[in-house]
Amino acid sequence: MQLENWLYNGILHIKSVYCPPLQKNVSCDCLVIGGGFAGLHAALKLVDAGKKVVLLEKGICGSGSSGKSAGFLTPNSEEDLDQLSAEYGIEEAKKIVSMPYEGVKLIVNTIKKYKLDCDFKKQDSLYLALHKADEEVLRKEAEFLKKLGFKYKIYNQKELREIHPSHKLQLGLCKY
């Protein structure tokens, strides 16, 4: 079975380079297992440090969880900040929230450093409250962003209408 990158081959009609499976002993200074964002960056840092690196990936680099993001790099936690703070305390919550922000910075800096032609565009995330009841969730999130020292902007209905024509949007929160 040969794995293919369906996005490149099927939709964009770009032929991806096929790398045959490893079938012999290879020696290296460092072995990296997994070709997602973390594995690729680890391998790159090691190569930059002069190490001989072998990267093993069972599929196609970037095809797992890293590739399933549809190309969006969002530095946001799966849990609301108040939940993280309640469970781990404010300082640990700040560390947890900082990790994906630092990861995105690492990826952006790598794109710039190596002048990768990848159609990268900066685009902020906007979280929306569609109902009055949802406004409190966004306001609470903004309160914790402020406590943790992160930048954000709250958009009221009037400001949202300048971005999107819907009259149903109640409130917006943009995390930077």
Whether residue 31 is contained in a domain is answered as yes
Q: Structural domain of residue 20, as residue ranges?
A: 1-68
In the chain, how many domains are there? 1
Longest dimension (CA), the chain: 64
Specify if 153 maps to a domain: no
The answer as to whether 38 is a domain residue is: yes
pLDDT in tens, 123-162: 778 889 999 889 999 999 999 889 888 889 999 999 999 9
pTM beyond cutoff 0.85:
no
Helix axes 81-88, 132-148, angle to 10 degrees: 50
Q: Token digits for 43?
A: 């391998």
Structural domain includes residue 33: yes
| DSSP per-residue codes, 135-173 | HHHHHHHHHHHHHHT--EEEE-HHHHHHH---S---EEE
